[in-house]
Amino acid sequence: MANEDLTQIFDTIEYPEAYRITYLANAIVFPAYSAIKKDFGLVRAEYILLACLSHFDALTAQDVARISRRPRNTISRAVHRMLDDGYLDRAPDPDDGRQARLRITASGRDLHFRISEYLRRRQDEVLGTLSKEERATLSALMKKAALNAAQLDE
Amino acid sequence: MANEDLTQIFDTIEYPEAYRITYLANAIVFPAYSAIKKDFGLVRAEYILLACLSHFDALTAQDVARISRRPRNTISRAVHRMLDDGYLDRAPDPDDGRQARLRITASGRDLHFRISEYLRRRQDEVLGTLSKEERATLSALMKKAALNAAQLDE
DNA sequence: CTTTTATTGTTCCATTTGGAACAATATGCG
DNA sequence: CGCATATTGTTCCAAATGGAACAATAAAAG
């Protein structure tokens, strides 16, 4: 094929919005993810964990699983590795013996900051063709849909 | 935590658009993906293959890898399984001994049609809060960004 | 209080995944 | 032409992944 247009599928696919969303997600995340893995040795669940804990004071592993839509065992493993590496702290919840409250450490926060750069940079590349107004519109509409999605499965 | 707002991260994250895009992608794809795996026994690379071949006349495995941003070996495996199951045909390219041209069969097309329903339905649920105009705007802006992304890495 | 039922975090295990190396073919360049 | 380099599809292998079962704890029901 080669000289046929590989992007025609954006219009012909049966689920155009879903396709474009996942395409954009892949376009942003895959390159950033590879670089993060290569430069920091982190797998996806690990930096998701960092991102969550950077933005909430204390979370249980279950919270993180819910926020990120990943299975609990994946998060559990990430927690252990990050604990070993000193990127987070864990304290048993005094009110509920089943759960433990996770907090990010200073070095975890620092690591997350460095990792965010990769994602932010790639995001800006991919969205670079949009005007300021277009980008703001896109962002607002995505937030509206994302809030709806969050509510859908609670 | 539990009664804190789990969605505040939409605004506080360092890469808001990237976060919202991947959140939406996950919100749409994960539930649909689980159902497709459960009901049809297909892994992601397999229905991506079907989707690609449903919308192009003939593709090489490499083309599919490029379109879908997946590693070649993942596609290669999917091709073998789909060949065994009769969902696609393969013919060596007469002009290039390295590559083979893949085409979807009637039963493959039928399978893809049934699978699309899952994605389309979930897409419509997630985007259900948007008005017709908002959805059209979102769709157009995503297409613009996606076309840019496609061009970025060629 | 006792008995079910639900939730949390973990381990087990089979499957999926993707990087790296590979053989086969093609292309570029002297 | 002959040799280096690139590309395609594949296999190998180590790692990541996620469903299922589990023990510990909590909540609900009787």
pLDDT tens column, A104-129: 999 999 999 999 999 999 999 999 99
Give mean pLDDT, residues A85-103.
Answer: 94
Range of the domain at A98: 14-119
What residues contact residue A14 under an 8 Å CB cut-off, 6+ apart? B113, B116, B119, B120
B133 in any annotated domain: no
Question: Which parts of chain B have pLDDT scores under 70?
Answer: 1-4, 154
Distance CA A71, CA B1 (A): 19
A8 in any annotated domain: no
B66 in any annotated domain: yes
A136 at interface of B, judged by CB pairs closer than 8 A: no
Facing residue for A26 by CB, picked from B30, B59, B69? B69
Give mean pLDDT, residues A4-13.
Answer: 82
Of A35-49, A129-143, B102-116, which range is least confident?
Answer: A35-49
A-chain residues near B30 (CB < 8 A) = 69
Q: What total of structural domains would you count in chain A?
A: 1
Structure tokens at A61: 């592993």
Give the per-residue pLDDT at A1.
Answer: 44
Give the per-residue pLDDT at B154.
Answer: 66
Give the per-residue pLDDT at B41.
Answer: 85
The CATH number for B74's domain is 1.10.10.10
A13 pLDDT higher than 80: yes
Nearest-Cα residue of chain A relative to residue B137: A138
